[in-house]
Amino acid sequence: MPETRVEMARIDVSTFSLKHTFESAQPLTFYADYSEASNTITYPFKGSVINIMHTGGAEKGALTVLGRDREKAVAEVKKRFRLDDDLPKIYKRIGTDLHIKRAIASYRGMRLTLNDPWETTLTFIISQFNNVKRIRLITKKIVERYGATVFDSAGKPIAKEFPESRALAGAAEKDLQSLGSGFRAKYIRDAAEYCTNNLDLYKLPAAKYDKLKESLMSINGVGEKVADCIILMGYGNLKAFPIDVHVKREMEKLYFKGRKKKLREIQEFAERKWANSRGYAQQYLFHNARLGGG
């Protein structure tokens, strides 16, 4: 629920879908609360709670934003949902074949999001060999157990913040397992300890893809695919092209006539075909494949 004594702001948006963005298996999918009936999303942010309502259509509409501090809430929403991205131009860059054009038509307005690097790291470690429903269940339990409490202006607890790495660094593996994380518990704890004591995620070079990927893969439990997810959604680098089983199968089916290909070959193909916008191409292919689109 929104806090009491909140400030309201309106942001005009175009080529934007809150529904498709929320449902596309990005970090907010795993812990924010979305209502399709009212087209609203609610999530904690730096000691407050942000509530967003999307009105209008995918081509032209508005976001009504509620938060404790109007300016901070607006800045957060613009950054988180990458509202400065010119999607029509991006669509022209990536919509070079019928497959991508169909995905764009099905999920028009879906945005990549830009999230906190640790938040992104944790959610995608949890995502390994997992489905969206279970990722969300585990993530919500971790937030509830380890997140700091958010209070409204009357002192009433209204939410839990996404926990920082240091909140999980001392967690017992068995406690994390009790939240449903299974074999991922070790990787969650190791990553929390490493990112608290050895690797400052907030000082890594977002624009330097190779160096950034190398640093992220020094975290126990972070392989190629997870590193690319973090680079794409935690640092906003559109050179990342995460390849999971859905994307690999889809790429082989659509672009290689069903022939099996190595990950390196798919990466090189994506770089040639979609250049520095390939992160968006991946998200549309992934979401379309995951939901069984053609």
Task: Say if residue 101 is in the same domain as residue 127.
Answer: no
Q: What is the CATH number of the domain that holds 263?
A: 1.10.1670
The boundaries of the domain holding residue 269 are: 245-290
Q: Phi and psi (nearest 5°) for 202?
A: -85, 0
State the average pLDDT over residues 123-135.
96
pLDDT per position as a tens digit, 78-113: 999 999 999 999 999 999 999 999 999 999 999 999
DSSP-derived 3-state class of residue 289: helix
Q: State pTM to two decimals.
A: 0.95
DSSP 11: E
Q: Among candidates 246, 29, 31, which has minimal Cα distance to 145?
A: 31
Task: Say if residue 24 is in the same domain as residue 100.
Answer: yes
Q: What is the CATH number of the domain that holds 87?
A: 3.30.310.20
Task: Say if residue 226 is in the same domain as residue 155.
Answer: yes
The answer to whether residue 183 is domain-embedded is yes
Q: How many domains does the chain have?
A: 3
Two structure tokens written together for 33: 């609360």
Q: Among candidates 99, 88, 116, which has minimal Cα distance to 277?
A: 88
Spatial distance between the Cα atoms of 19 and 37, rounded to a whole number of angstroms: 10
State the average pLDDT for the chain: 95
User: Which residues, 6+ apart, have CB-to-CB distance to 57 below 8 Å?
Assistant: none
pLDDT grade, residue 5 (50/70/90)?
Answer: low
Q: What is the CATH number of the domain that holds 133?
A: 1.10.340.30
Task: Say if residue 166 is in the same domain as residue 271.
Answer: no
pLDDT per position as a tens digit, 55-73: 999 999 999 999 999 999 9
Evaluate whether 147 touches 47 at the Cβ level (below 8 Å). no
Burial (CB < 10 A; 0-12, 13-18, 19+), residue 181, is buried
Task: Say if residue 121 is in the same domain as residue 230.
Answer: yes
